[in-house]
Every structure is written in structure tokens, then in C-alpha cells.
Structure 1
Amino acid sequence: MRLRSTLACLALLASASAQAAGRPRYGGELRVAHGGPPEVAEPALADTPLEATLLGLLSPPVCRATRDGGFEPALARELSRPTPQSLRITLPGPASATALARAWMRLASNDGASPYRALFHPLRGEARQVTPQGATLELTLAYPWPDLEHALCHPALAPPAAPNALGPFTAAGRGALEAQTAWPQGRPYLDRLLLTATDQRGLSRLWSSRQVQVELGVASETDTTAGAPLYATFLAFSPRRLPPDFRQAVESAIDREDLTRLFVQAPAQPMPHLLPPVMLDAPARPRPSAPSARPARTVTLRYDASVEDQRAVAERIQVKLHERGYTVALEALPRAALRARWAQGDFELMLHALLLPPIPGPALAVVLDAGGRKDLLGVELPAIGALASSAARDARARERAWPWPRPCPWSPCTCRGWECASLRTWAG
């Protein structure tokens, strides 16, 4: 039998007290192979869907989004609003509160070099100073932002997966996770997870030899279930280092439909706007004509060495921009180095992939900051947050994302959902 959903697979790993009456017996171990890194420690850099899922086993964010558009506590015991302009987060203990406050202050600082800092923009001081009060964090808003709780569910805002992190599981040696009995949401069903990190060839070998029971991050043409396609890839470019008509050159050269179908692992969608189609289902603009011919020019396109799709996309952009008179040199960088270059503005071209929140307002905040328009956050977000209705806020965010601000040096490319999670059991 194969279960068709990543969430269904992972639901087997952690318990919920509300389901206690129908719960199977505790115990046993599960062998899991995945296509991610052997270890995931820094939440702000663990922003592929697979890495975010692995991180959540050890160190989840304060809450998690639900299928009905709401949220529920994860690391936190409770989230409450003493007033409309404040949020109180009650954590399992003072140590958890201190670890979370430190993680948020680091992310919000200039040293954090993370576009996810935009999720803190509605907070007074943008979370640069968060002081725990015992096991509680008291957050004050600078302007109305009803979607704050949804924003804080983002996995990039989880505390690091340190030895004292509090999640469903705890690390017990390389590749081994053991059930965390102190997990606030209830003891996981399983005693132990055995994780094996490998590549696509290794995943196929382990699966065919029945050495694993679950595979995460493996493509399948026949039995793939994608979560919401929120893992978005953009082409960032530096207006200071490129001609004024460079956007026209890119938009005229790149066919997003072909790029997605031929060079991005399914399931994926072309992304013609600042927000993914699941949030902004608007027709794509007609592709412009090519700009006037210019003398040949050499530029460097940097991309994430750990994301296989990015190399294929970068090579395709290299070919298409050659038709517009650009010789594109490719440079693969570790994600931390790539984000540091982004924060410093030290690039000509860069492929930048982001795991966007599932709510249009917070997603727009991340995209604007990542696209070099942090200055627009103080203009756009208060106007969105002032609307009482969630439907009105979502509509306003979509309206502001389409058409996107032309000075934004940012060209959307593609977006992906969860690659695949397969679970098989064999009789006997």
C-alpha cells in the first residue's frame, strides 16, 4: 500500500492527544530515506519543503497551519491576544522561550541575512529586541496585523535544532531520532526514526531493495501528491550592474511554461507573478519583444548548489540570454554564501528560492524584502493589516502583487509543491 500524502506519512510519526481513543500501540522504529542533507540545523536556511519537514521533527515553529486556513500550537502551548495589538506566546518553559527569542533576534538582525525577517516587520522593533518573561513572550504590534500568528507558523522562524531543542523527536546519534516524551502535543507513536540521506540514485536503490519504509523528496510520475506549491524560485538581478532594459531581455527570452515543464522536477507550476498561482490566479502578461541589440556582455549567474533544479534552470537561462547578447557564467554556491551575497547586494544575477507562507499578506512581505524593496513594507503592510476581513486582506495583497512594482529587480520563474513522500508496507 502507498499513502499519497506527505502530511499523511508524517502524521504517523507524531501523536495528538485528541486522537488518543483510536491510537495504535506505541513503539517500533521506521526507516526513512530522503534526498536532503544529513543534518538540518539553521531554520532560516532549511527552507526547501523537505528540509523544513526534517527540521520540524526536531524543532518546530510555535504553531502550524491547518488545512482549513487556521493555525494550531506546535512548540507553543498557547497563543493568545490580550489586546488586538499584542500577542502572548506561552512556551513549554523558560529555556524554550529564551532559545526562541534569541533565534528571532538573530534572524531580525543584519547578520541574519534572511528575507524571512520580513515576517517580523509588523512587530514593534521588528523583533530586534525580544525579552522573555519566564516561559512567555509578549509581542507588541507596530500596526494592525491579524495574520501575525499565521506568519509565525513559518518553519524559518523555528528555534535551531540544538541538543536541548523541544520537538516530537530528539537526535540520538547520526541519522537516529528518538521519541521526545516531553513534547507538548503528545508522545510520538514511534520509538525511533532511522534517517538515511542520499541522492536520487540511492533512493531508488534503497527502495527497490526494501531497506526503507518511507522515502521523502523523490519524484514519481504515477503517485505524486503535491502540497500547496509555495516553494518559489525567482531570478534576482542588480539594476546597478545591468542595463536598464535587462528586465525586458529576460521577459522576452524566458518562456516560463517551457522552463517549468522541461527543467523543474514535478509537481511544479510556472509563476508569472510575485505570488504563486495558488494565491494569485491571474493571466500572465504577454511576453515583450526583445530589446534593441547591444554589444556582447558577460554576467555571472549564481545559484544554490544544493538544489538540483536550480542548476537546470540556470543553464536554460544561460542559453536563452545568449540569444539576447549576454554571455552568462554560472557559479554554484552553498545556500549560506548565496544568502550572504544577497544581503550584501553582491551579485549581478541570482536564482533565489523561497518557501512562502500560505497567506498572501505575509507571502507578499517576504517577496518584497527578498526582491530588494524592503522600503515598500511600511507602505503596503499597514494598509493590508488595517482590513478586518481575512478575505479583504488577501484580496488587497493580491491586488498589490499584480502587477508587481516595476522598480522591483525580481523576475518570478517557477513554484513547486512537495516533491513526493511514499510509504509502503509489505504483508508479513
Structure 2
Amino acid sequence: MTLRHALASLLLLGAMPSLAAGRVPYGGELRVAHTGPAEPGEPALADSPTEATVLGLLSRPPCHLTPNGHLSPALARELSRPAAQVVRLGLPSAAQAAALVRAWARLTGSEAPSPYRALLFPLRGEGRQLSATGDTLELALAFPWPDLERALCHPALAPPRSVPAALGPFSATGANTVEARLAWSQGRPYVDRLRLTPTDERGLSRLWSTQEAQVALGVLADSGTASGTALYATYLAWSPRRVPPDFRQAVESALDRDDLTRLFVRGPAVPMPHLLPPALLPQAAGPRPSPPPAQAGRKVTLLYDAGSEDQRAVAERLQVRLHDRGYAVALERLPRAELRARWARGDYELMLHSLLLPPVPGPALAVVLDAAGRKDLLGVELPRIGALPDAAARDARVRERALALASSVPLLPLYAQGLALRAAPEVGGLVFDAQGLPVLDGAWLQPTVPGVPGARR
């Protein structure tokens, strides 16, 4: 029995003493409705909390982080440090090792570069020269980075689900149906299958009210929902070459993050006054600056994600608020892949950029600095952070540097979001991981009472 199964059994034993020996029941079909697409894209682009959750059923990164920071293998069967600056990953097969190398090469290469490549920056050559020896990857670090293992748990570092070597707790068996993988390294999921129904907000409400869904992912947060940590952070990025020097001051003076988050962003969401979300940098916002002298006639284009209603609403709000500062803002919606490609080329004036940040301050700051177009800072900041052996000291150093660097990067933090869900009474064992994502392979269905239709023990 795995640690996850043992803990789940103990939880159930306290809640359901009538089950023999406190064992969690196996079997059944769990009906899950969600607001993500029917086919999530590759991991670096399927990075909203809902998409990352659904994709994670079929493809996992090397490891998994629990809310208390405990690290366990996921795709990898073993993680070790044979030397101070070498991390060894043992994969289930040579095919999985090769698939992971190819997936990471896409992040750092010219084909589809991603800000998540910053998670691999501490590796020698930024991971571009990785090669697998059979089923083993040796990751050599260019400088001390004690947080590498935890960074490798990020969902963007999983292989794409389209490759045969992708591996998760479930396998796809039909349209919107996944079956439990009996040989999953962390123990087979409790339910036999998940029936997944992609829908919109209205459809989610209907499916829940008619009891056609037992779990609803992406619901509005209220007293009846559970939520994960808010780490899906949205920023306003700009090209310093294409806007006036006082642009940051103009936006900061016009923007009320509390109103923006409360009125225009789907919850659960929190205002984000600093480069890292409040979960990683819990410090109050400073005073808003006074507006710069207004100069009419400044024309700029703001790019945003066509698949995000929140980004659309925020873009329209920024359009109104910046008009008062003399900016005529044209809005352009783009598919996420094209939005990231424009980011990689530096081909934008203004852009809304949403990122699923790691639950660890150091790797999170690395992703943010790269997204801001300041990859040059990684080679300066990360070695100094990694040189601190104590985790608390490293985290404190990261928070200090995030505050110090905020005014020097062309990136304005706006808000951070989490994922809220509803679960029917018969669903047990649903918990969130450190990334703020629900662990669906740990859920179970409580058995019915014989002879009493609809009754549960």
C-alpha cells in the first residue's frame, strides 16, 4: 500500500467507521465536469489550473509535491542526488526518459520557447544538452540550486499527452473517458474510470444542479466550495522600446487591483501587488503613485488570451482606465500558442500574461523574471539564492529580491487565481496538492447501503 493510500485509509476510517478495517473502496465511475477544453494542449500551454488538472490525469512531471512540501516520485520512479550538484532521475523506461528530454528541449529551444524554461536554468547549459542513458537522466547543475527537485514537479515539465511515453494515473480509452492505470507508480487510482465533461460556466451549473456531475472543476468560489492555493498569476507586460518611460506610473496610478479582482476576475482570486502571489510573498501593497502628465494620442495594442474570459474582461477594463491617462488602447485576442510565440519574439507593445507559478519562491521568481524579458537577471540572482543552504533563508532572500527588482522589470502584477471545485457527498478523499491542483486519482466513491437506494454509509 502506498503512502497516499495509507493516509486516505486513515482519513476514511475516521469519517466512516462502518467500513471494514477502514479500507478505502475501489471501483466505480466518477463523473467530472470542468471548464477546460476537451483536449488540453501540451503542458507548457495547458497551464491554467483546470487544464493542468485534466492533463495531469494522463501525463505527469517527474515528481509531486504535497501541501506540506513532501516530495514523491510521479513519472520518475526515483529522484536522488549522487553528488551535490547532480540530480538523478530514474524513469520507468528508456522511452519515458527520451520523451522527457524532448519535451524539455522544446521549452528551451527556438521551436516553442516558454517562460517555464526558467525552471531548467540552473542546469548546466540550461538543460539543452541533456541526454538519456537508458532509463536514467543525470542533471548536472551549473551552480548550487537546492530547489531543483521541487521545481521539477511543475506540470509544464510533463511530456505532452500525445507522445506514447506520456504516463499518468489514468489512460485515455475513449471520448472524454479515462481508465485507472493499475500499474501507476503511486498506486492505482481508487475509481475505475473518470467520465470527463468539458463545458462552460452555465453548463457547469446545469450539470451540477441536475446531479449529472459528482465533481465540478472551475466553479465560482463560495461557502460550498473548496479551493487550491492561488498560484495562477496574471501580469501586464510591455515592451520598454514601444511605450513611454512613464508607462508604469500611468498604469499604477490608474489601476485599483482590489476593484479589478473583485469586479472583473473570476474567483477564487486575490489582488497581486508584488511580482509573486500573496501565497509566496504576503506583504501589503504600497501607496499608488500620482498620475504622470497626461499626453493624448498615444496608441498601443494590448494582446490577450482568446481562451480566457477573465483576460478579456481585464483587457477591456485596462482599455478604459488607460484612456484617462492619454492612451488609445486597441485590443487583440490571440490563441495562447500565438500569444506565447509573440512573447518569445518580443513582438508586442502590451500583453496580458498568465502563468502557473511553482509553489516554491525561488523557481517562481525565475519564471517571472524570464516572462518579463529579463532572462539576463537569472544568471545574477539565482546563484546567489541557491548558495543559501537553508530553505527559509533562500525563501526570505527571494522575497527581498522580488521587492527590489519589481521597478526594474517591464511587468506589472495584477491578480492571482486558484481553482475551486464542488464535490458530491459520496465523493471522498479529494485534496489539493502544493500546486493548488486537486488530486483526482486520490478520490473515492463511498459505497451505498444495501437495500437503501441512494443511501451512503
**Alignment TM-score, normalising by the size of structure 2:** 0.88
- Specify the alignment match of 1:427 in structure 2: 455
Contact 1:65/1:71 (CA < 8 Å) preserved in 2?
A: yes
- Specify the alignment match of 1:102 in structure 2: 102
| In structure 2, distance between residues paired with 1:259 and 1:371 | 21
The CA deviation string for residues 170-223 of structure 1, in whole angstroms up to 9 with x for no partner, is: 111210101112211111112111101000111111112221211111114222
- Specify the alignment match of 1:202 in structure 2: 203
SS of the residue corresponding to residue 291 of structure 1 reads coil
- Specify the alignment match of 1:8 in structure 2: none
Contact 2:108/2:117 (CA < 8 Å) preserved in 1?
A: yes
Contact 2:63/2:76 (CA < 8 Å) preserved in 1?
A: yes
1:12-411 → structure 2 map (5 Å cutoff): 16=5, 22-162=22-162, 164=164, 165-411=166-412
The CA deviation string for residues 74-114 of structure 1, in whole angstroms up to 9 with x for no partner, is: 11111000011000011111111111111111112122221
Contact 2:272/2:414 (CA < 8 Å) preserved in 1?
A: yes
| In structure 1, distance between residues paired with 2:287 and 2:138 | 48
Distance 1:132 1:23, change over 3 A: farther
| In structure 2, distance between residues paired with 1:220 and 1:360 | 25
| In structure 2, distance between residues paired with 1:74 and 1:188 | 13
Displacement of 1:24 in angstroms is 2.8
SS of the residue corresponding to residue 392 of structure 1 reads helix
| In structure 1, distance between residues paired with 2:282 and 2:391 | 18
Higher mean Cα deviation, 280-289 or 152-161?
280-289
| In structure 2, distance between residues paired with 1:421 and 1:301 | 35
SS of the residue corresponding to residue 400 of structure 2 reads helix
| In structure 2, distance between residues paired with 1:331 and 1:271 | 24
**Alignment TM-score, normalising by the size of structure 1:** 0.94
Q: CA RMSD in A?
A: 1.6
Structure 1 letter corresponding to 2:57: L
SS of the residue corresponding to residue 404 of structure 1 reads helix
Contact 1:232/1:416 (CA < 8 Å) preserved in 2?
A: yes
SS of the residue corresponding to residue 300 of structure 2 reads strand
Structure 2 letter corresponding to 1:427: A
Contact 2:8/2:24 (CA < 8 Å) preserved in 1?
A: no
Contact 1:304/1:334 (CA < 8 Å) preserved in 2?
A: yes
Distance 1:161 1:421, change over 3 A: farther
Displacement of 1:16 in angstroms is 3.6
| In structure 2, distance between residues paired with 1:411 and 1:248 | 10
| In structure 1, distance between residues paired with 2:176 and 2:197 | 6
| In structure 2, distance between residues paired with 1:211 and 1:314 | 35
| In structure 2, distance between residues paired with 1:414 and 1:357 | 16
Structure 2 letter corresponding to 1:392: A
Contact 2:221/2:227 (CA < 8 Å) preserved in 1?
A: no
| In structure 1, distance between residues paired with 2:256 and 2:202 | 30
SS of the residue corresponding to residue 53 of structure 2 reads helix
Distance 1:238 1:54, change over 3 A: same
Distance 1:88 1:421, change over 3 A: farther
Contact 2:215/2:421 (CA < 8 Å) preserved in 1?
A: no
| In structure 1, distance between residues paired with 2:279 and 2:221 | 22
Contact 2:85/2:144 (CA < 8 Å) preserved in 1?
A: yes
Higher mean Cα deviation, 405-414 or 243-252?
405-414
Contact 1:79/1:90 (CA < 8 Å) preserved in 2?
A: yes
| In structure 1, distance between residues paired with 2:393 and 2:24 | 43
The CA deviation string for residues 258-300 of structure 1, in whole angstroms up to 9 with x for no partner, is: 1111111121111111011111122212111111121322211
The CA deviation string for residues 132-173 of structure 1, in whole angstroms up to 9 with x for no partner, is: 111111100000000000100000001111262221001112
- Specify the alignment match of 1:416 in structure 2: 417
Q: Which runs of 5+ in 1 are unaligned?
A: 1-13
SS of the residue corresponding to residue 171 of structure 1 reads strand
Counting matched residue pairs gives 415
| In structure 2, distance between residues paired with 1:377 and 1:423 | 45
| In structure 1, distance between residues paired with 2:404 and 2:251 | 17
SS of the residue corresponding to residue 204 of structure 1 reads helix
Displacement of 1:225 in angstroms is 2.4
| In structure 2, distance between residues paired with 1:393 and 1:114 | 25
| In structure 1, distance between residues paired with 2:386 and 2:36 | 36
Structure 2 letter corresponding to 1:215: A
Higher mean Cα deviation, 307-316 or 413-422?
413-422
State the percentage of identical aligned residues: 65
Displacement of 1:403 in angstroms is 3.1
| In structure 2, distance between residues paired with 1:18 and 1:70 | 14
| In structure 2, distance between residues paired with 1:49 and 1:236 | 21
| In structure 1, distance between residues paired with 2:422 and 2:377 | 38
Structure 2 letter corresponding to 1:333: L
Distance 1:200 1:249, change over 3 A: same
| In structure 1, distance between residues paired with 2:133 and 2:422 | 40
